[in-house]
């Protein structure tokens, strides 16, 4: 499959999740690592090792600072590059992987291992630079050689569109957020620019709802601000003229001037954008097995 994509001129970036497993917290099932060596594979409370440190929001946190766990992750990454020839990785909750016992460290064992590995130096490394733990927000904190999701771009562009951000702030984002990423020799491509992602409002819902509608059963509510302009009530079935005109402009499709791809940095577009995926105003459809998460 990877070879066929390469023949078509496309790269393959794997979304990898090394920060947690399906074993949950101390009440979760014993499926794999918990039964092999619980204290090595997971971060546990130092004074109460029965309990898990939950910096991922999933119940457990993989202890990548342990030498054997780090070796396992590195072996896995090298396998995907050497065995399948993928072009890079996007690391879910990447801050977790750079955590040492005292917190995030941009010289952590994992980051050092990646920087010195001759194979991993040849591929793209992209961090989701936040997690749920203390000091978990680390946008701009990763070392040279890494790219990061830039939520500052998302928030500024959407605020500017709502007339809530000055042009000077937008200029900073257009220039790859220099104040955030331009240090220690990092390049403009370190900023991965996006308006919507797999979490939060879909692009359609940004111009359809003024507030969250996480009404579906078991819907989870996030604290992220909406940063939307509805241009009409959510109950309207027909798209108002204003909203219709805002959709392609805000979507930054290639035929429109000033699109996101023209800004310095990498442009990232979420799945479903071009077909105007509608999640009914639910900004966190993670736990939904329905049309709003399709």
**Crossing angle between the packed helical segments 109-116 and 67-84, to the nearest 10 degrees:** 30
188 pLDDT tier (thresholds 50, 70, 90): very high
CB under 8 Å to 236, separation ≥6 — which residues?
none
Residue 22 has pLDDT above 90, yes or no: yes
Q: How far apart are CA 98 and CA 89, in angstroms?
A: 15
Q: How far apart are CA 138 and CA 106, in angstroms?
A: 9
Residue 193 has pLDDT above 80, yes or no: yes
In a domain, 75, yes or no: no
In a domain, 223, yes or no: yes
Q: How far apart are CA 73 and CA 94, in angstroms?
A: 13
211 classed as catalytic: no
Going 54 to 107 to 126 to 257, the CA torsion angle's sign is positive
pLDDT of residue 103: 94
Which structure tokens are listed for 96?
Answer: 């977790």
In a domain, 69, yes or no: no
Catalytic residue among 92, 131, 148, 151: 92
In a domain, 212, yes or no: yes
Q: Cβ distance 34 to 49 under 8 Å?
A: no
Q: Which domain holds residue 274?
A: 150-294
pLDDT of residue 220: 52
217 pLDDT tier (thresholds 50, 70, 90): low
Query: How many domains in the chain?
Result: 1
In a domain, 274, yes or no: yes
How far, in Å, are 130, 134, 136, 254, 294 from residue 46 at the CA level? 23, 16, 19, 52, 41
Nearest one of 221, 241, 222 to 231, comparing CA atoms: 241
Q: How far apart are CA 198 and CA 252, in angstroms?
A: 17
Cα end-to-end distance, the chain, whole Å? 23
Residue 228 has pLDDT above 70, yes or no: no
Please report, for the chain, how many H helices and E strands are present, in that order: 10, 10
In a domain, 107, yes or no: no
**Crossing angle between the packed helical segments 33-41 and 67-84, to the nearest 10 degrees:** 120
CB atoms closer than 10 angstroms to residue 227? 19
Alpha-carbon torsion, ordered 262, 246, 286, 94, to 10 deg = 20
Q: How far apart are CA 165 and CA 157, in angstroms?
A: 8
pLDDT digits (tens, 9 = 90+) for 81-111: 999 999 999 999 999 999 999 999 999 999 9
87 classed as catalytic: no
For the chain, give the number of residues: 294
DSSP state, residue 42: B
Name the one residue in this structure whose structure tokens are 């800004």.
263
Highest mean pLDDT among 148-162, 201-215, 238-252: 148-162
Catalytic residue among 23, 128, 131, 205: 128
Which structure tokens are listed for 265?
Answer: 């940095």
Which structure tokens are listed for 172?
Answer: 């900073």
In a domain, 37, yes or no: no
Higher local confidence (pLDDT), 17 or 236: 17
In a domain, 294, yes or no: yes
Which residues on adjacent β-strands are paired with residue 191?
148
Q: Cβ distance 229 to 235 under 8 Å?
A: no
pLDDT digits (tens, 9 = 90+) for 238-278: 444 444 555 555 554 443 334 566 688 878 877 666 567 77
């Amino acid at each position: 499959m990877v070879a066929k994509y390469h023949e078509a001129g496309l790269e393959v970036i794997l979304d990898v999740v090394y920060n947690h497993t399906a074993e949950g917290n101390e009440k979760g099932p014993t499926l794999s690592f918990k039964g092999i060596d619980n204290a090595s594979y997971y971060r546990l409370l130092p004074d109460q090792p029965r309990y898990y440190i939950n910096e991922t929001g999933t119940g457990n946190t993989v202890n990548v600072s342990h030498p054997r766990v780090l070796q396992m992750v590195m072996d896995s990454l090298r396998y995907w590059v050497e065995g399948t020839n993928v072009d890079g990785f996007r690391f879910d909750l990447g801050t977790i992987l750079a955590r040492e016992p005292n917190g995030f460290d941009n010289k952590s064992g994992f980051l050092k291992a990646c920087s010195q590995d001759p194979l991993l130096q040849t591929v793209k490394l992209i961090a989701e630079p936040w997690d749920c733990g203390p000091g978990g927000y680390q946008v701009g904190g990763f070392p040279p050689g890494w790219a990061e999701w830039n939520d500052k771009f998302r928030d500024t562009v959407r605020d500017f569109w709502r007339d809530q951000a000055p042009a000077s702030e937008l200029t900073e984002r257009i220039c790859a957020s220099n104040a955030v990423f331009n240090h220690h020799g990092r390049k403009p491509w370190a900023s991965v620019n996006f308006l919507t992602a797999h979490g939060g409002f879909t692009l359609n819902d940004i111009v359809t709802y003024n507030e969250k509608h996480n009404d579906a059963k078991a819907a989870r509510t996030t604290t992220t601000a909406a940063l939307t302009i509805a241009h009409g009530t959510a109950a309207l079935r027909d798209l108002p003229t204003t909203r219709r005109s805002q959709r392609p402009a805000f979507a930054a499709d290639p035929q429109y001037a000033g699109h996101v791809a023209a800004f310095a940095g990498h442009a990232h577009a979420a799945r479903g954008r071009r077909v105007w995926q509608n999640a009914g105003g639910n900004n966190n459809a993670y736990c939904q097995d329905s049309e709003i998460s399709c």
